Structure 1
Amino acid sequence: MLSSAFSCSVDGVDSSNYQEILPIESAMVPSEFLLNETYEITVTYLRPTSCHAFNNIYYQKHNNERTVAVITTFFGDNGNCTTIDSPLEATFNFKATQVGTYVFKFWQGEDDNGEDSYLIVEVPVTEE
């Protein structure tokens, strides 16, 4: 399960700031990769409130699979959060280092049974 949140406390004062993994709505991925070339991959996610700020891309490698999600930081200690559900984009670079097919699993949240759901994109790699 990818869904998680992290918080911290400084000098015993509870902070309402934490990191949150958000689902990806869509992804722009090339239809094929050339071996040893680097590509920019863009994902779209919904920023749920004005207190969420992009932090990083969650990126996990396992053989030819890549699991991707968006990590935001929630800054709730200002008390001025408004719901916005605004779509934003984030990008990361990917270098194709092996021939075959890469499988990208873009995390889209959990289904009704609490199971992770993914947008799965398979991209073949060629040698020109």
Structure 2
Amino acid sequence: MKRIYLKLLTIAFTLAIASCSLDDDGTNFQYAPLEITGASLPDTFELGRVYSIDVKILRPDDCTMVDRFDVSRSFTDSTQIRTVSAVGIILDKEKCNTVDDEVQDSFQFEVLYDKPYVFKFYKGSDDQGEPEFLEIEVPVSQKP
């Protein structure tokens, strides 16, 4: 009985492996930062709350899709700094049509510190290739 079970398992495994195709269909992609054109934050954060941060992102063509946000943190003695960039997937296609479309997306943000937060949203690069940011500072209040 064990031998029959082992043979059936081997046949099933072989069929499963053989049915998988590793052929390349020619669709490749790369990740790239996308331009953030605007963000909506409250006037004040409340310590301990979770907020949904709405962000407007420029989608330059129909080969570009918004994938996720990359948020890095740093701080000074008096401020919490969050640098936010939108990460896009750009499909490697021969022809992409320009759309210049603004897409709205959001991410969740939990207020953990009582110091003000400065959000630096990546807007793109200037003529010298230096990154430019939209900066928004939000003070934090204690719970009532």
TM-score band w.r.t. shorter chain:
0.7 to 0.9
Within 5 Å, give how 1:1-128 maps onto structure 2: 16-63=28-75, 64-77=80-93, 79-128=94-143
Give the unaligned 5+ runs of structure 1. 1-9
| Greater gyration radius | 2
Residues in 1 aligned to 2:25 and 2:103: alpha-carbon distance in whole angstroms: 32
Q: Structure 1 counterpart of 2:107, which letter?
A: F
Q: 1:31 to 1:73 in 2, by over 3 A?
A: same
Which portions of structure 1, spanning 4 or more consecutive aligned residues, are displaced by more than 3 angstroms? 10-16
* Conserved 8 A contact 2:27-2:91: no
Kindly indicate which of the two structures has a greater share of residues assigned to helix: 2
Give the unaligned 5+ runs of structure 2. 1-21
Q: 1:18 to 1:30 in 2, by over 3 A?
A: same
Which residue does the alignment assign to 1:4? none
Q: TM-score, normalised to structure 2's length?
A: 0.75
Q: TM-score, normalised to structure 1's length?
A: 0.84
- Residue deviations 1:41-86, cap 9 Å, x none? 0110111111111111011111210001111101123x34211010
- Give the drift of 1:113: 2.3
Residues in 2 aligned to 1:62 and 1:13: alpha-carbon distance in whole angstroms: 42
Paired residues, what number?
118
Residues in 2 aligned to 1:90 and 1:124: alpha-carbon distance in whole angstroms: 23
Residues in 1 aligned to 2:54 and 2:25: alpha-carbon distance in whole angstroms: 38
